[in-house]
């Protein structure tokens, strides 16, 4: 198996993992809606105390954010302020995005590493949340570590795509093909 085929298989695998994280985030968003509606109904309709919905909602929000972030990067749907980028040539924009992706991978690598350390510490010491839910705290920290690691992996895939774009933009016909933006399907 050649290097190119291996990288293609790696890219497909990472893209599938990102999609799986997004599907889990969508399911968690539905669960979050049910939890919030139940909490509101218990509090305002049945005049009952709801002690679980706020904490469960917090953990679900963390899960939704970190399990879907790699997919957001895959689809290039993160927040971008491109007011100055529109004045740059496609070649310069591609190079700037490549630099930004390298910085993103560096930051998320550190985040994943530190979150993994905190996860392990919480697991070893058996720390739990100080509430009635008493969720083991290693679980939300693990979600953060895995989400950050997913961004690192998806960032590697993105760098591979961008590096191909830098090569194609360097040629005269590549310059014409990329006049509309960084990559043809970047934005709707």
Q: How many CB atoms lie within 10 A of CB 185?
A: 9
Rounded distance between C-alpha atoms, residue 137 and residue 43, angstroms: 27
Average pLDDT of the chain? Answer: 87
Per the CB < 8 A criterion, the answer to whether 89 and 97 are in contact is no
Task: Convert the pLDDT of each residue in 132-171 to its tens digit.
Answer: 889 999 999 999 999 999 999 999 999 999 888 655 544 4
Rounded distance between C-alpha atoms, residue 113 and residue 148, angstroms: 9
What was the pLDDT predicted at 163? 86
Domain count, the chain: 1
**Distances from the Cα of 66 to the Cαs of 59, 98, 111, 170, in angstroms?**
11, 22, 12, 36
Specify which residues 128 forms β-bridges with.
136
- Tokens standing for residue 111: 């985040």
**Is 173 domain-assigned?**
yes
**Is 187 domain-assigned?**
no
Structural domain harbouring 69 = 3-177
**Is 184 domain-assigned?**
no
Rounded distance between C-alpha atoms, residue 80 and residue 112, angstroms: 23
Handedness of CA 36, 38, 41, 47 (dihedral sign): negative
The helix (run of H) or strand (run of E) holding residue 164 is helix 138-170
**Is 87 domain-assigned?**
yes
Task: Convert the pLDDT of each residue in 64-92 to its tens digit.
Answer: 999 999 999 999 898 888 888 889 899 99
Buried b (16+ CB within 10 A) or exposed e, 13-22: ebbebbeebb
**Is 117 domain-assigned?**
yes
């Amino acid at each position: 198996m050649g290097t190119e085929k291996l990288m293609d298989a790696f890219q497909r695998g990472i893209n599938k993992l990102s999609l799986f994280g997004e599907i889990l985030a969508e399911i968690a968003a539905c669960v979050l809606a049910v939890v919030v509606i139940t909490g509101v109904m218990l509090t305002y309709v049945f005049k009952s105390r709801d002690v679980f919905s706020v904490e469960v909602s917090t953990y679900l929000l963390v899960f939704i954010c970190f399990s879907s972030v790699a997919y957001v990067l895959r689809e290039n749907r993160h927040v971008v302020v491109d007011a100055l980028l529109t004045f740059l040539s496609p070649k310069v924009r591609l190079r700037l995005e490549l630099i930004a992706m390298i910085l993103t991978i560096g930051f998320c690598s550190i985040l994943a590493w530190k979150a993994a350390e905190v996860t392990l510490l919480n697991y070893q010491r058996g720390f739990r949340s100080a509430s009635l839910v008493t969720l083991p705290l290693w679980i939300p920290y693990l979600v953060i570590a895995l989400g950050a690691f997913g961004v690192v992996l998806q960032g590697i895939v993105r760098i591979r795509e961008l590096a191909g774009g830098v090569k194609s933009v360097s040629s005269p016909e590549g310059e014409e093909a990329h006049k509309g933006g960084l990559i043809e399907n970047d934005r709707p």
